[in-house]
Chain A
């Protein structure tokens, strides 16, 4: 035993252990409450049934198919958003004139509920993947543009002056000062964009779609198949958690 450590140190569990215990407790309550008659399993289902349902849809191939559709829409839309929004944000941040031109419509779009534009996208792109990709694109692009732009604008002027004092060219200033200095803000935009993108793809599929996870959620909800419904909901949650954690890790490395 190390000297000087209080006995309590040996007794208290670590944070990870507490987290796992909390989840285990939640699952236990969820499983037992319906079995003991406290709640009606019709409304809540049980972990055991959800697990079974998960195995069913996975082996039937439907899970893989819908997941692939949603994932494709998400990745395509998000990749497009990155490719367009980051350079656009950098441009707008660097050139105030462009900003005055483009700011009002961008801010208007940011304030608009994402899904309000879905009917228009469906009109333009149909009920297939195209309209969903458009929703993802817009949902992610707007926060990325806004945050990238803000990142460029709040770069410490002293850093630019210092670079210039060492004979930096305009290109040097942009590449060696502005870009690295705005990177943390860009990452914030990406993190916000990810959550809006996930929201966008799932809800858009719930409204207008032939397949995809959101579509399944809608169907299963109407059919009162809560067990299968929860399989898809948990899948979306797990994906969202994974993505957010990934982006946070990247943010830490950059900051």
Chain B
């Protein structure tokens, strides 16, 4: 069975306009993501994990190597992939419903009333009653729910989440993680979730990919053997703690070089 996502020899280098030369964000990365799995990528700031996500999304071209989705090379954005952003990236002049419609409009969805479809996804993420609010009237957690609704509305096969809870406070993060799993359980799309929170990575993922920086590469891949659905209490269990130890060890070996 072909993995849903195959990352082969991925290298991403950016030019440094001021100092000259190139900054290698990711070097020769190899990763296979099976269909329907929730894979989290954890690593320190600057380890290139967001760049990996952008490459899968087709928003950044690899400097070397390639990304395959269902065996086909990724050359740009596609209807099969949708992204959720750390800074929400909602259009401030659009209401909640209009923001959720945004992807549908861009992808020229036909044969269905876009507004009713958008309404369904607003309900799904628990924002019933806030359809006509503007982003500035919402809390951070609510804005990210809109971002998630927008991504789900286009029915992608792959969900890409770039530190989606990074801009939220600790308690909202936990609650949102719970919410996200609840929503994900419904149809178990393939998900790639980037974070720098170790606990978040273990709690959410079927597999945790640990990345180092300078330049970014994978130092460990850990299968998370905890049953679903997961409650917050699972974070106190031995398997969870063991994962955490292993990830910390993997990161410690690298961050001491930072």
* Binding between chains A and B: yes
Interface residues of A (CB under 8 A from B): 156, 158-159, 161-168, 172, 176-177, 180-181, 183, 254
Query: Is B237 close to A, CB under 8 A?
Result: no
Report whether B107 and A166 are in contact in the complex, using a CB–CB cutoff of 8 Å: yes
Report if A158-B106 is in contact (Cβ < 8 Å); known contacts: A164-B77, A165-B57, A180-B91: no
Would you list the 6 A-B pairs with minimal beta carbon distance, nearest first? A162-B89, A166-B103, A158-B89, A166-B106, A165-B83, A168-B106
Residues of B within 8 A of A168 (CB): 106
Report whether A167 and B91 are in contact in the complex, using a CB–CB cutoff of 8 Å: no
Report whether A167 and B93 are in contact in the complex, using a CB–CB cutoff of 8 Å: no
> Quick one: which of A167, A181, A254 contacts B106, CB cutoff 8 A?
A167
> Quick one: which of A156, A159, A165 contacts B82, CB cutoff 8 A?
A165
Report whether A165 and B59 are in contact in the complex, using a CB–CB cutoff of 8 Å: yes
Residues of B within 8 A of A166 (CB): 77, 82, 102-103, 106-107, 154
Residues of A within 8 A of B59 (CB): 161, 164-165
Residues of A within 8 A of B106 (CB): 163, 166-168, 172, 176
Shortest distance from the beta carbon of B75 to any chain A beta carbon, whole Å: 12
B interface: dominant SS: loop
Query: Is B87 close to A, CB under 8 A?
Result: yes
C-alpha gap A254/B134 in the complex (Å): 13
Number of chain B residues whose Cβ lies closer than 8 Å to a Cβ of chain A: 21
C-alpha gap A244/B77 in the complex (Å): 45
- Among A161, A164, A166, A167, the most chain B Cβ lie within 10 Å of the Cβ of A166
Which residue on A lies nearest to B154, using beta carbons? A166
Shortest distance from the beta carbon of A130 to any chain B beta carbon, whole Å: 39
Chain B residues numbered 66-92 whose CB sits less than 8 Å from any CB in chain A: 77-79, 81-83, 85, 87, 89-92
- Among B57, B91, B106, the most chain A Cβ lie within 10 Å of the Cβ of B106
Report if A167-B89 is in contact (Cβ < 8 Å); known contacts: A161-B59, A162-B83, A176-B106: no
C-alpha gap A167/B59 in the complex (Å): 10
Report whether B93 and A165 are in contact in the complex, using a CB–CB cutoff of 8 Å: no
> Quick one: which of B78, B85, B91, B105 contacts A161, CB cutoff 8 A?
B85
Report whether B93 and A181 are in contact in the complex, using a CB–CB cutoff of 8 Å: yes
Shortest distance from the beta carbon of B166 to any chain A beta carbon, whole Å: 13
Residues of B within 8 A of A167 (CB): 77-79, 106-107
Shortest distance from the beta carbon of A120 to any chain B beta carbon, whole Å: 41
Shortest distance from the beta carbon of B84 to any chain A beta carbon, whole Å: 9
C-alpha gap A180/B105 in the complex (Å): 16
C-alpha gap A180/B93 in the complex (Å): 7
Shortest distance from the beta carbon of B159 to any chain A beta carbon, whole Å: 12
Residues of B within 8 A of A158 (CB): 85, 87, 89
Which residue on A lies nearest to B104, using beta carbons? A166
C-alpha gap A233/B26 in the complex (Å): 68
Report whether B107 and A161 are in contact in the complex, using a CB–CB cutoff of 8 Å: no
- Among A161, A167, A181, the most chain B Cβ lie within 10 Å of the Cβ of A167
Which residue on A lies nearest to B60, using beta carbons? A161
Given pairs A161-B59, A176-B106, 4 additional interface contacts (CB within 8 A): A159-B89, A164-B77, A166-B107, A176-B102
Shortest distance from the beta carbon of A159 to any chain B beta carbon, whole Å: 6
Shortest distance from the beta carbon of A188 to any chain B beta carbon, whole Å: 16
A-B contact list, 19 entries, CB within 8 Å:
A158-B85, A159-B89, A163-B102, A163-B106, A165-B59, A165-B77, A165-B82, A166-B77, A166-B106, A166-B154, A167-B77, A167-B78, A167-B106, A172-B106, A176-B105, A180-B91, A181-B91, A181-B93, A254-B93
Chain B residues numbered 153-172 whose CB sits less than 8 Å from any CB in chain A: 154
C-alpha gap A163/B92 in the complex (Å): 13
Residues of B within 8 A of A180 (CB): 91, 93
Residues of A within 8 A of B91 (CB): 159, 177, 180-181
Residues of B within 8 A of A161 (CB): 59, 85, 89
